[in-house]
């Protein structure tokens, strides 16, 4: 942080409790060490999640994962499997997991205001038998992220309500933000041809999605 930026004194843990108060028993009692029928159902319908990881030297990362609804396999009430699809080969999430298995996840379900949160310990697995049945467009994932669940609970609807996340009227006009190709060109290749960037990105979306 720049030296000339003025920052108020940070809040310590005991001060935080004085400011916020303590959670009710409803908040404390909603945390389970395993899935129940409602969390299983939510996962079976969810097409999108974010997974947070951190390496031993920092390397914090929050990464989106998305697929057809129900793409996460429930192995049992304490274990889930997330397929790893083709990406940019950075492998930030999986690299972090090999160093530090602690992960946090949040599942979203379009149109539903509550979301599902999960904490646990993860492993990167290469197991064709375990990953069987997770093919999309005839292509099976070679790797998966196996999560042993420590905590799972439903998060209240306030953030989604405040943001209006699922309201069609909150969607911006597509012209109000540049395309992925425009961003890439401007950031990495200012003098480059926009059409070539668009063609490259469209080809990747068409041919390398799975």
- Report the pLDDT value the prediction gives residue 59, as an integer from 0 to 100: 86
Q: Are residues 177 and 155 in the same domain?
A: no
**H/E element holding 207?**
helix 194-207
Q: Give the CATH number, domain containing residue 55.
A: 2.30.110.10
Place of tokens 């404390």: 28
Residue pair 131/83 in contact by the 8 Å Cβ criterion: yes
Sign of CA dihedral 79, 73, 64, 91: positive
Q: Are residues 103 and 195 in the same domain?
A: no
Residues 197-209, mean pLDDT to the nearest whole number: 94
Residue range 121-177, pLDDT digits in tens: 999 999 999 999 999 999 999 999 999 999 999 999 999 999 999 999 999 999 999
Give the total number of structural domains in the chain: 2
Contact in structure between 166 and 132 (CB atoms under 8 Å):
no
- Tell me the C-alpha distance between 153 and 184, whole Å: 38
Of 146, 163, 180, the last residue of a domain is 163
Query: Are 187 and 114 contained in the same domain?
Result: no
Give this prediction's pTM: 0.91
Q: Are residues 64 and 89 in the same domain?
A: yes
User: Which is more confident, 16 or 60?
Assistant: 60
151 assigned to some structural domain: yes
What pLDDT is stored for residue 16 in this prediction?
87
Residue 84 lies in a domain: yes
Please give the residue range of the domain that contains residue 179: 172-207
C-beta separation of 23 from 11 below 8 A: no
DSSP 114-153: -EEEEEEEEEEE--HHHHTT--BTTB--SEEEEEEEEEEE
Q: What is the pLDDT of residue 3?
A: 63
Cα–Cα dist 67/47, whole Å: 5
Task: Please check whether residues 95 and 190 belong to one and the same domain.
Answer: no
Assess whether 192 and 150 both reside in one domain: no
Give all strands of the β-sheet with 58-66 in edge-to-edge order: 58-66, 48-55, 102-108, 115-125, 143-155, 79-84, 73-76
pLDDT of residue 102: 98
19-76 pLDDT tens trace:
998 888 888 889 999 999 999 999 999 999 999 999 998 889 999 999 999 999 999 9
Q: What is the pLDDT of residue 135?
A: 95
3-class state of residue 54 by DSSP: strand
- Assess if residue 12 is contained within a domain: no
Please determine, for residue 184, whether its predicted confidence score (pLDDT) is greater than 70.
yes
Q: Please determine, for residue 7, whether its predicted confidence score (pLDDT) is greater than 80.
A: no
Amino acid 2: pLDDT:
65
Is the same domain home to 122 and 197? Answer: no
Residue count of the chain, please give it: 210
Whole-number pLDDT of residue 110: 97
Measure the CA angle with vertex 44, ends 41 and 45; round to 5°.
Answer: 95
């Amino acid at each position: 942080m720049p030296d000339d930026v003025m920052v108020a004194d940070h809040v310590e843990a005991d001060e935080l409790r004085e400011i916020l108060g303590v959670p009710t028993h409803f908040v404390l009692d909603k945390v389970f060490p395993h899935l129940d029928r409602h969390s299983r159902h939510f996962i079976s319908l969810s097409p999108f999640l974010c997974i947070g990881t951190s390496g031993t030297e920092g390397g914090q990362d929050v990464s989106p994962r998305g697929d057809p609804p129900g793409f996460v396999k429930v192995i049992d009430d304490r274990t889930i499997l997330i397929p790893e699809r083709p990406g940019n080969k950075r492998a930030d999430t999986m690299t972090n997991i090999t160093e530090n298995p602690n992960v946090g996840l949040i599942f979203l379900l379009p149109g539903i205001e509550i979301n599902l949160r999960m904490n646990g310990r993860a492993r990167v697995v290469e197991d064709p038998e375990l990953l069987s049945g997770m093919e999309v467009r005839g292509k099976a994932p070679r790797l998966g992220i196996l999560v042993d669940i420590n905590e799972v609970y439903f998060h209240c609807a306030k953030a989604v309500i405040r943001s209006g996340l699922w309201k069609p009227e909150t969607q911006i006009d597509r012209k109000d933000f540049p395309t992925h190709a425009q961003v890439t060109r401007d950031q990495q290749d200012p003098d480059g041809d926009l059409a070539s960037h668009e063609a490259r990105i469209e080809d990747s979306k068409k041919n390398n999605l799975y």
